Structures are given as structure tokens and as C-alpha cells.
């Protein structure tokens, strides 16, 4: 099995852990497990890995050979954390805008996201200031019979 001596580094060029003799067929998922272990993360984080600004997409060997990078010297593997988005469900109402006396049939945010228009079966449209959660204006329909 072919191997290479590798050193993990941050994008700020700080070394992480010792130099390691890694198999050339190592993939990003395996590198991720390894760097999380080296960094002793409480929660496993996703990372991207680069050698000379070339991302390791399949295997270390493929990245090195495709970009003509020698394994005669220590291979510097730069790791960068990937973005994590955590979504949690809303289990309770966090705010209410009282005022309508019938069901709300339509709502639309203002173009800057600071206001809201709500239309109701009570034949009113209310314009709301979302920062203060207060009504800006109440528009009533004129009904002709």
C-alpha cells in the first residue's frame, strides 16, 4: 500500500497534530474522522481538505497525481470547517399580533422584511411593524350592498 507523510494545517497555517503516514487511498470522509479525532471535537464537524489549494474530492492519491504534487516531501493538508445549519422545530408560539376578529386569510412581508400585511375575513388589512409588533395602519373594506 502506497503512503505519504502528511501534516494537517489550518487555513492560518497552524499545525494540527503530528505528521502522519497516511495511505494514498484515504478519502475525505476518512480524513474527517481523523481530524475530528486529532482535534478532540465534542461534536463531529464536517471539513473540506485541500493540498496546494486543490480540494481532495475522492482520494488523496487522485488529488496528488492529477495536480502533479510530489510525495517526496511532507504533504500539507489544509482543512477548513464547512458551514453547519441547525434547524429546530418551533414547539410554541413565540409572538402574536392581536387585532383581527376573524381568520387571517393572507400575509405578506414588506420588501425589507420590517413590516407585514395581514388580510382577514373581518374585511380588514392590517400593516404591522415587526420590530415593535404593533399595528402601523388598519385598512377597512367598504362594502356596498
- Return the DSSP state at 30: H
Read off the pLDDT of residues 96-116 as tens digits, 9 standing for 90 and up. 788 888 899 999 999 988 999
Q: How many residues can be counted in the chain?
A: 145
- Determine the Cα–Cα distance for residues 135 and 113; give it in Å rounded to an integer: 15
Question: What are the extents of the domains in the chain?
Answer: 3-81, 104-140
Q: Is the pLDDT of residue 46 over 80?
A: yes
Mean pLDDT on 41-62:
91
CATH fold of 3-81 reads Ubiquitin-like (UB roll) (3.10.20)
- State the first-to-last Cα distance of the chain, in angstroms, to the nearest integer: 88
Q: Yes or no: say if 18 and 4 are a contact pair by the CB < 8 Å rule.
A: no
Does the pTM surpass 0.75? The reply is no
Q: CA dist 20 to 13, 33, 144, Å?
A: 17, 14, 82
Kindly report the average pLDDT of the chain as a whole number.
89
Amino acid at each position: 500500500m502506497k503512503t505519504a507523510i502528511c501534516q494537517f494545517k489550518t487555513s492560518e497555517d497552524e499545525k494540527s497534530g503530528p505528521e502522519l503516514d497516511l495511505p494514498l487511498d484515504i478519502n475525505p470522509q476518512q480524513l474527517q474522522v481523523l481530524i475530528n479525532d486529532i482535534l478532540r471535537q465534542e461534536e463531529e464537524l464536517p471539513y473540506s481538505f485541500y493540498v496546494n489549494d486543490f480540494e481532495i474530492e475522492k482520494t488523496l492519491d487522485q488529488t496528488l497525481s492529477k495536480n502533479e504534487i510530489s510525495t517526496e516531501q511532507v504533504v500539507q493538508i489544509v482543512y477548513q470547517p464547512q458551514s453547519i445549519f441547525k434547524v429546530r422545530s418551533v414547539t410554541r408560539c413565540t409572538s402574536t399580533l392581536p387585532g383581527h376578529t376573524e381568520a387571517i386569510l393572507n400575509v405578506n412581508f414588506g420588501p425589507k422584511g420590517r413590516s407585514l400585511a395581514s388580510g382577514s375575513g373581518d374585511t380588514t388589512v392590517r400593516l404591522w411593524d415587526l420590530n415593535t409588533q404593533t399595528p402601523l395602519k388598519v385598512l377597512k373594506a367598504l362594502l356596498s350592498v
